[in-house]
Amino acid sequence: MELTITPEALEWFKREIDLEAGMGIKFFGKVYGSTQAHDGFSIGMSVDRPENPLIEKELEGILFFAEKADDWFFKGYNLTVDYDEGLDEPKYIFTES
């Protein structure tokens, strides 16, 4: 799995989320919804502290990560976090790895 955060998405996170020291942005699979890669599951995001990371990426002091417990959701895919200007929120793009 590769994790890519676009510059536009990074700017959104910097503007909208205030992180305490040691905290980061966690991406995870959750029940209900859908993605290009999953039917019946969508992606969630929360402010959390990494415990057993599957992947970590730090950009401009912000840590982005997914936990090994969510390997089932990300396995076989790369995740790009982009920015949806119309909705003013992140959008998630899955591509096969």
Domain at 10, CATH number: 2.60.300.12
DSSP assignment letter at 37: S
Tell me if 79 sits within 8 A of 64, measured CB to CB. Answer: no
Per-residue tokens: 46 = 């929360």
Tokens 């119309």 sit on residue: 86
CA-wise closest residue to 79 among 37, 47, 22: 37
What is the Cα–Cα distance from 63 to 48, expressed in whole angstroms?
A: 10
Total number of domains constituting the chain:
1
How confident is the model over 28-68, as pLDDT tens digits?
A: 987 665 565 666 557 889 999 999 999 999 999 999 999 99
Question: What range does the domain containing 31 cover?
Answer: 3-96
What residues contact 20, with CB distance under 8 A and at least 6 apart? none
pTM here? Answer: 0.89
